[in-house]
Amino acid sequence: MFIGIGGQVVAIDPASGTERWRTKLKSQTLVTITAAGDRIYAGAGGELFCLDAATGQILWKNKLKGLGLGAICFSGSSETAAAAAAAAAAATAAAATGVST
């Protein structure tokens, strides 16, 4: 289970309630989140973050320049988001290796 609170994303073990990891995104701001496969997407302070669900490591962030500081709302199924994340990862790998997908 994942929660967004106080500028952080926190992973909680749903069986025991113990904290698995905690990642600070922005200082004391509302954090909205959605989970898709092995990724957590979080909105905080007008920025979009992608975290590894197993470790909480920030994989990338986007400042969403020109869009202000409002809360980020997520839409779509987790399958759609997971497919988009997989396609983006494949494109990044292809660009790094020079091999097209």
Q: Which residues pair with 21 in a beta bridge?
A: 11
Q: How far apart are CA 32 and CA 43, in angstroms?
A: 5
pTM beyond 0.95: the answer is: no
Over 50-90, what HEC string results? EEECCCCCEEEEECCCCCCCCCCCCCCCHHHHHHHHHHHHH
| pLDDT score at 29 | 84
Query: Which CATH number does the domain housing residue 90 bear?
Result: 2.40.128.630
- 101 assigned to some structural domain: no
How many domains is the chain partitioned into structurally? 1
| pLDDT score at 81 | 57
| pLDDT score at 49 | 95
Closest-CA residue to 56 (of 30, 82, 84, 24):
24
Q: Which residues pair with 78 in a beta bridge?
A: none
Q: What is the arithmetic mean of pLDDT over 18-33?
A: 92
Note the pLDDT tens digit of each residue in 39-60.
Answer: 999 999 889 999 999 999 999 9
